[in-house]
Chains A and B, each alone.
Chain A
Amino acid sequence: MDKLAKQLREDAKQIECEVSAQLDSRIRASLEGVQPEAPARPQRESKSFSFWWASSLTGIAAAIAIIVLINLQAPAPSRAVTEPAPQAFVVPAIEWHAKTAVFTTPLEQEIENLQADLKKAEDAVKQDIDRLF
């Protein structure tokens, strides 16, 4: 223990005080008249949850109302008259190389598979119904 810590402990011991018999009996009498409280019921949680919902909905409604009001009051955008810019230079022609993409084959295969699955499912359902009834 360092010097300061030791000195602080010693000096604390030099503070003379004790709980007097009078204070002791006063405290005991007070404690006799007190009952420990029970913890708060969890009902408060559901109440606060509904409050949360109510305030959230109110907030959203207010936000929507403000957006609608702003949009109604906004002036119609003026149409600017634009003049065509003079063609100062010639745009180079782009050579397009187009190829035909074949998309239908995979889709046809897919629809055949789906129909087969559907047929299997129908058969299974029919078998189940026959077995039950």
Chain B
Amino acid sequence: MSTEAALIEAARKGSAEAFTDLVGGYREGLLRFLLTRSASFADAEDALQDTLINAFRYLYSYDSRWRFSTWLYRIAINNAARIKVVDTVELGDLSDEGNDPLRHCIQASDRENLWSSARRLLSDEVYTAMWLRYVEDMSVNDISAVLERSVSWTKVNLMRGRKTLDAELNKDATDEKSKAYG
């Protein structure tokens, strides 16, 4: 039995310590992901906490045929969506750049971070698909399971997302060249 499987088994029996060890490697990735989908840093932290608590509580429903991270991200997306719905009423639109926690966390750079561009240009689902593919290295099958979409939908939208961001990346490069040549 692998370490992860052993930790899952122990956590299912009620060991919070085993569960903490189990999710230790996923916490920062999850927080980074939730940060891109939340209205504030505090919301992202709340969403992470809710995600881990729900995962621990409903661990029995985890199907070992899937990767554990796939299941965890599915819960995270649900929590982020729920918190976002509540915040839409209280805090206003995410597109308001002043409220955007992502901008505060991105290191200063000459060009716009591609993930900021992605959030501006792509829909929530396509953004998530791109993140899971290029940051979390998930397979197309896993992404379609997380998003509860068909494999063909996932492939088509990954392609669209790529096309959009590729155009954005090339536009940035062209702008830099134009500046360089005056």
Interface residues of A (CB under 8 A from B): 3-5, 7-9, 11-12, 14-20, 23, 26-28, 30-32, 34-39
Contact = CB atoms under 8 A, between A and B. Distances in A.
Contacts of B107: 14, 16
Given A16-B105, A27-B48, A11 B11 contact: no
B165 A4 contact: yes
A28 B16 CA distance: 8
Contacts of B44: 17
B106 A14 contact: yes
Contact of A31 (B19, B36, B113): B19
A56 to B, nearest CB: 30
B82 interface: no
A26 B49 contact: yes
Contacts, number: 95
A19 B113 contact: no
Contacts of A39: 60-61
Contacts of A15: 32, 35-36, 102, 105-106, 113, 115
A31 B20 contact: yes
A19 B134 CA distance: 22
Nearest to A6: B134
B114 interface: yes
Interface residues of B, number: 42
Given A8-B114, A15-B32, A34 B135 contact: no
A32 B109 contact: no
Given A23-B45, A23-B49, A16 B106 contact: yes
A34 B12 CA distance: 12
A11 B162 contact: no
Contact of A23 (B48, B59, B115, B169): B48
A11 B115 contact: yes
B52 A27 contact: yes
Contacts of A28: 16, 20
